[in-house]
Structure 1
Amino acid sequence: MGKSPPQGNHTTLMEFILLGFSDVPNLQGFLFGVFLVIYVIILIGNSLIIILTKVDPCLQTPMYFFLGNFSSLEICYVSVTVPRLLTDLCRQNRNISFLACATQMYFFLVFGATECFILTTMAYDRYVAICNPLLYPLIMHKRLCIQLAAGCWSSGVPVHIVFTYLIFSLPFCGPNQLNHFFCDIPPVLTLACGDTFLIEMLIYVIAVLVVTIPFMLILGSYVKIISSILKLPSATGRAKAFSTCSSHLMVVALFFGSGIIIYLRPKSSHLAGLDKVLSLFYTIVTPMFNPIIYCLRNKDVMVALRKFLLKCIML
């Protein structure tokens, strides 16, 4: 249900205070260390994948082209929230201006939407490779791959400009403490003192378009993929096909699972503490596991990594 307009005179807010993890003051130093290590792992791991997909001739395929895009996106995605979180863990003043908060939310939503679309495109690539192997080079040609990647990166931009503008056009005239570590939609909306019903309906519409539909397309692709894999005559062929798909499925389950729980469950069941923990999954934990999952579960990437490290040692 939307909120009723406020009664009486109120001062319009000009900034928020990000509470983050201030409720555990004794753990600030520990959390800073943990999140810093995770951030460094994300940066190094994804940078390695980007480099490998560029320099290794064996990884010059559509699958690794999209993996390189995905790793670039992960670096952008975590850099929207983690540097600010690390800064807040080191200082008392955690104020964030409306403009900075709106900018953070906008880029977080755009990169989040892009991640949904790239994961869907990666599922389509695996579907064509396994279900139509003879037509794969014809269908997934370089021009189409570039067009798909460009579409993934740009499609969320106009929608989220309007969406972010509508959220920050609401009146904020009560408490200004955001019980979160970044400017996410649910905690910002709880501070709005105007009617938020239309915005809440819009959240569900956008979540269905950006999260649910891509998730269903991925599931549909993998139903057909698994069906085709089971028909393969060779046990080795089945094992190889499963290994290339399982890493992608693990990433999809981690990212979409936590995202769907946050944005599509009823507003009445939102708990600030639980939301913060779930948000850590899709903002920090999943991006950390992605390079680990794709490297350890992919022989081609492991071989390319060994060759690259040997070259670096010999230089």
Structure 2
Amino acid sequence: MKADLGDLNAFLAVAQARGFRDAARNVGSSASTLSEAVRRLETRLGVRLLHRTTRSVKLTEAGMRLVERLRPALDEVEAALDVINLFRDRPAGTLRLNVPVSAARLVLPAILPGFLADYPDIQIEVVADDGFVDMVASGCDAGIRYDERLEQDMIAMPIGPRVQRFATAASPAYLDARGRPGHPRDLLAHACLRGRFTSGALTSPWEFERDGEIVRVEPQGPLIASVAGAADLLVDMAIGGSGIVSLFEDWLRPAIDRGVLEPVLPEWWQAFSGPYLYYSGRRLLPPPLRAFIEHIRANAPAVSN
């Protein structure tokens, strides 16, 4: 039985977004257009694929089975069409990246300008998401994650700085008023500005390390903000004298260099390995992704510490 490829893509978009309106925003269409496409597909197949209510959309058992088989199949169709790019003088198309907010802020700005200058026919779409997602199922070509967050059956290559550190800092005025901690446990007597991940977990305990000794403390303080969307608020509150903040060193470095934040316990700042670009090794690489990988390899010394 033949089915229209556009209708199949419309159904998959609705299934992944779990709603017609969100799916329409994701694919740049209208909810009514997607609804009509799904209705045509259901009529052609002779089976209901979605349970629709005024508030939600849920997959039927038939719909769930179709999604399981459809996503890999459409990926292969897209990869087959991408082969045409091999006959172009320059790679073209869209590269979709799923990255944590920290990578969008601290890693990609050092890489993307040069890449886009070298490949003007490629468009980058970045999804900043601190949650642990299935990169392939989300429709992205590649992702950036730290080694402990890599998905199985993925190829990983270093991207960006190979060593990073967590740093703590506060405004000089705050430290003049409250005192400067000499040991991580001294933080228990201070106002600490904490973050919360998308999962709901707090960015605590704060962990410090010096000469092989690891110290973990559970800080308390007046503010908790989403790391995914309000990390800059944590920095601004620290600059304003509200307490001590703990974030990536590169995130705090501009404020430290300007003198509006002062390092706290720098000899205890803990280092960790840098991020990795990861992608599926089970499919033909789309030309935009292949070009991005080659760019990372060719410019590794320029973007690594």
TM score, norm. by length of structure 1: 0.23
Higher strand share: 2
Larger Rg, first or second structure (1 or 2): 2
Higher helix share: 1
TM score, norm. by length of structure 2: 0.24
